Chains A and B, each alone.
Chain A
């Protein structure tokens, strides 16, 4: 990344100004996040109470919208105004970007004390650490290559849990023939990209994923494998109902819950919708990895990045970071959120069947080097590239490009965005 002198000088000035201008009192932490409603907000309350027991006040700064995009805009205004919050919920490359700007605090002391290096998976550390310094504390790991299936439809039609692409096609054919919707999907760019992630991983395997999505190798991006991935996206498009565009992901989940659709390809947060509807994993609905990606996990991880309030991280920031990575909070929060803990040594006792499987998969994938950041969720490449890919994937999914054109566009779009 470009880090130049004038910019870092400007930033130092801003950060220095923030030390005096900040409205956060000595014993409070101000936290900017987008877990603003329902279960996840009350789960975060656990953290707040934990801090309050230590005499640290929690000043809440929730800003919802677009999976954190709105909050990132607010953050920029806050930092430019010399008034950054103490801690900010962030995803993947946003952390790296802010660390490059020199705006984040160094948490190495508490990390060493708590031995984070040993318990947090290396793939996560890639984002939590910058130039060897811990700058963020991960809260959870969401994995995005899940399939959510309606068990009664599958049983009725005699469909086994599909293990390969061909089995998936056969299963979807059966569902479609029965008059039900095969794939419940919402036509929003990030949802299209979520499926794309899984299809690409299944089609090209982990090496291809690494080359095309993470290393952004133009050769991989323009390869025949990429065209095949797009062809498969076209196939999936054929199993989606006509009214898909603009549909929110939770309404797509509702289609599976209400016996209208058989499958949804979505991250583990979808589980909350099923549980809320009174369903039990394994009995009413099934969760399994996207066929062909049984060994891989594509993830995104919510983290809290800490903004510099002076030279050293404040005692309150340290306390917050410690609380976030405590096994108790990791377990309590992730049970509610549907994700799995960001450290691999947390007991899976409190989790349901899908949660237990998620934790086991994560540990195994981390061990075998099969844990990859999800492109759709900003953990494979920076925001500009991610959005450029979204454009192509969505245009293709909506029939504006054929697969060859989409492959070409993928190369140019990534080139412009870099």
Chain B
């Protein structure tokens, strides 16, 4: 999109120079400043505070006695932390990929002049409205081999059917992915659907006249145009993946053993239930740094792109 040149404001103002000039110049900044101030204090200030805490011996409440790198050293000695890191990579990766894939597929299918589209769309969207405090219970039941899907399928007569992922050290993390995808893929679908509706039909027609098949039409022309939709979706999904807390607590409580521990649950438990706030803070710092390492370059390139 065409953006204003950086000095555009100045250009307008120089033409209509009067007493209100200063105010007019400053007003946008004044309007923006409370938000900026709030974010600087309550986000970046708190991040700095957390960074500081990670070098202290804080336990039940913040303390200000520095202990150097001890918390970080202990953090990396903890097996639970390496499990949590491994899990967030598996979980975050699969979650984002599946949500995007399912969301895109459903959006493309729904875009084919489907009957009752509005109704189906609402069904896809509603899981976002529910809190995991209790949908977690429903999922837990459903995934439990004793009372859930496995038991139901057995009662239909297919007794060799097995679905006990939630009880298995290796597979439990995937059940978290299933429930998480359930919650947000509909929302991602809505984003892609909106993106699809914004594409110019003429371009498609031209391509079709050139003899492109449906599949290549989507692959070559439609999907590349959805790039901004991908950006919004990835921002939203990454933010959800990192903050997934209720979901894990409701579904597995971090178990079996600690097989489904995620950094968010790890951080919470060390900061608040284990009274080792220093280690909790250290894990938060590592987590934030990883997010920054992934998201900053991505946002940077996407935002730069737009200016051209």
Please give the residue numbers on chain A whose beta carbons come within 8 Å of chain B beta carbons, in ascending order.
Answer: 2, 4, 6-7, 11, 66, 69, 72-73, 76, 79-80, 97-98, 101, 187-189, 242-246, 382-384, 387-388, 391, 394-395, 397-400, 412, 416-417
Known: A242-B167, A243-B164, A243-B167. A7 touches B258 (CB 8 A): no
B269 within 8 A of A: yes
Known: A384-B276, A398-B169. A76 touches B60 (CB 8 A): yes
Q: How far is the CB of A290 from chain B (nearest CB, A)?
A: 23
> How many cross-chain pairs have Cβ atoms below 8 Å apart between A and B?
93
Given contacts A76-B61, A245-B166, A398-B256, 5 further A-B contacts (CB under 8 A): A7-B63, A98-B60, A246-B167, A384-B276, A400-B169
Known: A69-B272, A72-B272, A246-B140. A384 touches B59 (CB 8 A): yes
B275 within 8 A of A: yes
Instruction: Tell me which of B59, B146, B253, B274 contacts A188 (CB under 8 A).
Output: B253
Q: For A395, what are the chain B residues with a Cβ–Cβ distance below 8 Å?
A: 79, 257-258
Interface residues of B in 192-227 (CB under 8 A from A): none
The distance in angstroms between the C-alpha atoms of A243 and B256, with both chains bound, is 11
Q: How far is the CB of B281 from chain A (nearest CB, A)?
A: 14
Q: Are A101 and B60 in contact (CB under 8 A)?
A: yes
Interface 0/1 of B134-173, CB less than 8 Å to A? 0000001000111000000000000000001011010000
Q: Are B258 and A97 in contact (CB under 8 A)?
A: no
The distance in angstroms between the C-alpha atoms of A286 and B54, with both chains bound, is 50
The distance in angstroms between the C-alpha atoms of A131 and B60, with both chains bound, is 19
Interface 0/1 of B251-267, CB less than 8 Å to A? 01101111100000000
Q: How far is the CB of A66 from chain B (nearest CB, A)?
A: 7
Q: Are A382 and B273 in contact (CB under 8 A)?
A: no
Q: How far is the CB of A18 from chain B (nearest CB, A)?
A: 14
B7 within 8 A of A: no
Q: For A417, what are the chain B residues with a Cβ–Cβ distance below 8 Å?
A: 274, 276
Please give the residue numbers on chain B whose beta carbons come within 8 Å of chain A beta carbons, in ascending order.
Answer: 57, 59-61, 63-65, 74, 77-80, 140, 144-146, 164, 166-167, 169, 252-253, 255-259, 269, 272-276
Q: For A188, what are the chain B residues with a Cβ–Cβ distance below 8 Å?
A: 253, 255
Known: A73-B272, A243-B167. A400 touches B257 (CB 8 A): yes
Q: How far is the CB of A402 from chain B (nearest CB, A)?
A: 14
The distance in angstroms between the C-alpha atoms of A69 and B268, with both chains bound, is 10
Q: How far is the CB of B156 from chain A (nearest CB, A)?
A: 19
Q: How far is the CB of A184 from chain B (nearest CB, A)?
A: 12
- 20 A-B Cβ contacts within 8 A? A2-B63, A7-B61, A7-B64, A69-B273, A73-B272, A76-B60, A187-B256, A242-B145, A242-B164, A244-B167, A246-B255, A383-B273, A383-B275, A384-B59, A384-B274, A387-B274, A391-B80, A395-B79, A400-B257, A416-B74
Q: For A244, what are the chain B residues with a Cβ–Cβ distance below 8 Å?
A: 167
Q: How far is the CB of A157 from chain B (nearest CB, A)?
A: 23
Instruction: Tell me which of A7, A11, A382, A412 contacts B275 (CB under 8 A).
Output: A382
- Across the interface, name the chain B residue whose C-beta is closest to A1: B59
Q: How far is the CB of B98 from chain A (nearest CB, A)?
A: 23
- Across the interface, name the chain A residue whose C-beta is closest to B256: A245
Q: For B269, what are the chain A residues with a Cβ–Cβ distance below 8 Å?
A: 387
The distance in angstroms between the C-alpha atoms of A400 and B259, with both chains bound, is 10
Main secondary structure of the interface of A (DSSP, over half): helix
Q: How far is the CB of A164 from chain B (nearest CB, A)?
A: 30
Known: A243-B164, A246-B252. A80 touches B61 (CB 8 A): yes
Known: A242-B167, A391-B80, A394-B255. A2 touches B57 (CB 8 A): yes
Main secondary structure of the interface of B (DSSP, over half): loop
Q: For A4, what are the chain B residues with a Cβ–Cβ distance below 8 Å?
A: 63, 65
Most A Cβ at <10 Å: residue of B64, B257, B272: B257
Q: How far is the CB of B273 from chain A (nearest CB, A)?
A: 4
Q: How far is the CB of A34 from chain B (nearest CB, A)?
A: 13
Most A Cβ at <10 Å: residue of B146, B164, B256: B256
The distance in angstroms between the C-alpha atoms of A400 and B145, with both chains bound, is 22
The distance in angstroms between the C-alpha atoms of A387 and B270, with both chains bound, is 9
Q: For A243, what are the chain B residues with a Cβ–Cβ distance below 8 Å?
A: 144-146, 164, 167
The distance in angstroms between the C-alpha atoms of A403 and B114, with both chains bound, is 60
* 4 closest residue pairs by CB, A with B: A245-B256, A398-B257, A73-B272, A69-B273
The distance in angstroms between the C-alpha atoms of A395 and B253, with both chains bound, is 14
Q: Are B275 and A246 in contact (CB under 8 A)?
A: no
Known: A6-B64, A69-B272, A383-B274. A391 touches B258 (CB 8 A): yes
Most B Cβ at <10 Å: residue of A6, A244, A391: A391
Instruction: Tell me which of B60, B146, B273 contacts A66 (CB under 8 A).
Output: B273
Q: For B276, what are the chain A residues with a Cβ–Cβ distance below 8 Å?
A: 384, 417
The distance in angstroms between the C-alpha atoms of A156 and B150, with both chains bound, is 31
Q: For A72, what are the chain B residues with a Cβ–Cβ distance below 8 Å?
A: 272-273
- Across the interface, name the chain B residue whose C-beta is closest to A394: B257
The distance in angstroms between the C-alpha atoms of A243 and B150, with both chains bound, is 12
The distance in angstroms between the C-alpha atoms of A2 and B77, with both chains bound, is 23
Q: For B57, what are the chain A residues with a Cβ–Cβ distance below 8 Å?
A: 2
The distance in angstroms between the C-alpha atoms of A354 and B256, with both chains bound, is 33
Most B Cβ at <10 Å: residue of A98, A188, A412: A188
Q: How far is the CB of B298 from chain A (nearest CB, A)?
A: 33
Q: For B77, what are the chain A residues with a Cβ–Cβ distance below 8 Å?
A: 412, 416
The distance in angstroms between the C-alpha atoms of A394 and B254, with both chains bound, is 11
- Across the interface, name the chain A residue whose C-beta is closest to B259: A398
Q: How far is the CB of A20 from chain B (nearest CB, A)?
A: 20
The distance in angstroms between the C-alpha atoms of A363 and B183, with both chains bound, is 53
The distance in angstroms between the C-alpha atoms of A4 and B62, with both chains bound, is 12
Most B Cβ at <10 Å: residue of A245, A398, A399: A245
- Across the interface, name the chain B residue whose C-beta is closest to A69: B273
- Across the interface, name the chain A residue whose C-beta is closest to B146: A243
Q: How far is the CB of A289 from chain B (nearest CB, A)?
A: 28
The distance in angstroms between the C-alpha atoms of A400 and B256, with both chains bound, is 11
Q: How far is the CB of B116 from chain A (nearest CB, A)?
A: 38
Q: Are A384 and B166 in contact (CB under 8 A)?
A: no
Q: How far is the CB of B35 from chain A (nearest CB, A)?
A: 23
Q: For A388, what are the chain B residues with a Cβ–Cβ distance below 8 Å?
A: 274
Q: How far is the CB of A409 from chain B (nearest CB, A)?
A: 8
Q: For B59, what are the chain A residues with a Cβ–Cβ distance below 8 Å?
A: 2, 97, 384
The distance in angstroms between the C-alpha atoms of A401 and B210, with both chains bound, is 64
Known: A243-B146, A387-B273. A97 touches B60 (CB 8 A): yes
- Across the interface, name the chain A residue whose C-beta is closest to B271: A73
